[in-house]
Amino acid sequence: MTQTPTRGGGPNGLGVAEVPAQRRRAWVERSEQLRAAATTEPGRLRIIGAVLALLVVAFGAVTAWQITDRTTAAGNVLHHSAPLSADAAEIYRRLADADATVAGGFLVGGQEPQAVSDRYDKDIAIAAKLITEAAANSQGSSQVRAQIASLNQQLPQYTKLVATALANNRQGLPLGGAYLRYANEQMRKDGGLLDASNKLYQAETDRLGKDYGDAKALPYAAWALGVVALGGLVWAQRRHYRRTNRVFNQGMLAASGACAVVLLWLVVGHTVARTQLDDSYAHGAKSMQVLNSARIAVLQARGDENLTLVARGSGGSYEDTFNSGMTGLAGKDPKGVGGELEQALALADNAKGRTPVDTAIKSVQTWRARHTVARASDNNGDYTTAVAQVIGGKDSKGHTVTETTGQCFDKVDASLEQAVAQEQHEFNQAADSGRGALTLLPAGAALLAVLAAAGAALGIGRRLSEYR
């Protein structure tokens, strides 16, 4: 007997086209069941519990994420960008010191003193080492790489010019002075060694500023979620009280307490960290930037002073640069206080920081007075006395000069070095305290958020048990 095929060709007479329809009906029925459950108190409690748990866990997760980012940025300030900025400033300082040192050695005539050679060689060696380290830590920055490449290219050229100048000077050839002046031009010209090292310093300082900004950024998302989560828990407890006339639900109370602790910890911890980081910048990083700039200005002034004499009558441009540099360093009044040293004094927040800056200011005042005397000797044709008044030795009458500008320069440089060391110490302390205020918060927030979610679930579960 022939059997007529069923509609749709499916087994048991069920058409394939009817399967999606059945699934849709099942989904609709399930949705209706959920909506119906939501109209009952147990259903509403389950929804409230799920939402509260989600809010609390999200609060903990976002807090851990945002504070971890800020802790990492604070660590970068302390261990990466600040040291790199300091190293870039040291490259600049070492190059400027090498230039000033070799010019001072030239004034002696003939064979330069061994101390001069040693200091010059040390400056160049340290600068080369720091340039190599900067290249290894450039982190792909095109601006940093460009300046490092420029420094690597120009430094051997500069040292070759200096070596030629010294060789000629040892033989008493006037050509040595010309080579030295040309080497100085290569050092100071736009795009030269000092310009490249300054751009490297600015790039590293900009990176430091970015890390500071990341470390101090306010965790708005975590704050908002914390307020919403805590508000939801308070609302749920109030709802529980109004429906049962019971004041406390232990699970919900524990969840609220844990959530409040995380929120309070977040606000207080971040505020403390931000305050400490602000302090590390104002009384550490910013002070060091001003002091490093002052040290470089001192070295350049010393180089200009020496080169004015090396030029023997044609050093007017060096004298002009010396005067403008001194104005930027200490103000227009030779007997007053101004410029970068005044800024450094204002930024120093304790006696340990102010004392070396005060010493540097007094030494600069003495330096300017002695420089005026030396220039008067040179302008009057007494070159021998002028040289002795700058680097020491005997004047044209055979008398030993005991008060030189070189003594003042050494004292200024040593005082500023002491001030930098003090500000570096304060920076390290404040930055480390700022980072420390955030260290435990990510793990603590995650743990307390899990406990709060568990407490909320237990509190809701206890209420649900009353309906069974």
Q: What is residue 331's predicted lDDT score, i.e. its pLDDT?
A: 92
Q: What is the mean pLDDT of residues 273-282?
A: 92
Q: What is residue 468's predicted lDDT score, i.e. its pLDDT?
A: 57
**What would the pLDDT profile of 355-386 be if each residue is shown by its tens digit?**
999 999 999 999 999 999 999 999 999 999 99
Q: What is the mean pLDDT of residues 415-426?
A: 93
Task: Give the angle subtended at the CA of 170 by the CAs of 373 and 182, to the nearest 5°.
Answer: 70
**What would the pLDDT profile of 437-467 be if each residue is shown by its tens digit?**
998 999 999 999 899 888 887 877 666 666 6
Q: What is residue 213's predicted lDDT score, i.e. its pLDDT?
A: 93
Do 318 and 375 form a contact (C-beta atoms < 8 A)? no
Give yes or no for residue 38 having a pLDDT over 90: no
**What would the pLDDT profile of 301-339 be if each residue is shown by its tens digit?**
998 998 888 887 665 788 999 999 999 999 998 888 899
Q: What is residue 33's predicted lDDT score, i.e. its pLDDT?
A: 57
**Which has the higher per-residue pLDDT, 38 or 243?**
243
Q: What is the mean pLDDT of the chain?
A: 86
Out of 4-18, 244-258, 286-300, 439-453, which region has the weakest mean confidence (pLDDT)?
4-18
Q: What is the mean pLDDT of residues 175-191?
A: 89
Out of 90-94, 222-226, 398-402, which region has the weakest mean confidence (pLDDT)?
398-402
Can you tell me the distance from the alpha carbon of 407 to that of 113, in angstroms, rounded to the nearest whole number? 16
**Which has the higher per-residue pLDDT, 171 or 342?**
342
Give yes or no for residue 167 having a pLDDT over 60: yes
Q: In three state form, how does the secondary structure of the chain look?
A: CCCCCCHHHCHHHCCCCHHHHHHHHHHHHHHHHHHHHHCCHHHHHHHHHHHHHHHHHHHHHHHHHHHHHHHHHHHHHHHHHHHHHHHHHHHHHHHHHHHHHHHHHHHHCCCCCHHHHHHHHHHHHHHHHHHHHHHHCCCCCHHHHHHHHHHHHHHHHHHHHHHHHHHHHHCCCCHHHHHHHHHHHHHHCCCCHHHHHHHHHHHHHHHHHHHHHHHHCCCHHHHHHHHHHHHHHHHHHHHHHHHHCCCCCHHHHHHHHHHHHHHHHHHHHHHHHHHHHHHHHHHHHHHHHHHHHHHHHHHHHHHHHHHHHHCCCCCHHHHHHHHHHHHHHHCCCCCCCCHHHHHHHHHCCCHHHHHHHHHHHHHHHHHHHHHHHHHHHHHCCCHHHHHHHHHCEECCCCCEECCCHHHHHHHHHHHHHHHHHHHHHHHHHHHHHHHHHHHCHHHHHHHHHHHHHHHHHHHHHHHHHCCC
Q: What is residue 21's predicted lDDT score, i.e. its pLDDT?
A: 59
Q: What is the pTM of this model?
A: 0.80
**Residue 268: how many CB atoms within 10 A of its CB?**
12
Q: What is residue 127's predicted lDDT score, i.e. its pLDDT?
A: 96
Burial class of residue 262, CB neighbours in 10 A (0-12, 13-18, 19+): buried
Q: What is residue 361's predicted lDDT score, i.e. its pLDDT?
A: 95
**What would the pLDDT profile of 53-65 be if each residue is shown by its tens digit?**
899 999 999 999 9
Q: What is residue 466's predicted lDDT score, i.e. its pLDDT?
A: 63
Q: What is residue 194's predicted lDDT score, i.e. its pLDDT?
A: 93
Q: What is residue 354's predicted lDDT score, i.e. its pLDDT?
A: 93
Q: What is residue 356's predicted lDDT score, i.e. its pLDDT?
A: 95
Q: Which amino acid is at 408?
A: C
Q: Which two tokens stand for residue 328?
A: 């930027």
Q: What is the mean pLDDT of residues 70-76?
A: 93
**What would the pLDDT profile of 108-166 be if each residue is shown by its tens digit?**
776 778 888 999 999 999 999 999 999 888 776 788 899 999 999 999 999 999 999 99
Give yes or no for residue 14 having a pLDDT over 50: no
Give yes or no for residue 16 having a pLDDT over 70: no
Nearest CA among 303, 362, 294, 370 for reference residue 328:
294
Q: Which two tokens stand for residue 298?
A: 């001192």
**Which has the higher per-residue pLDDT, 426 or 466?**
426
Give yes or no for residue 270 having a pLDDT over 90: yes
**What would the pLDDT profile of 1-11 be if each residue is shown by its tens digit?**
444 444 444 44
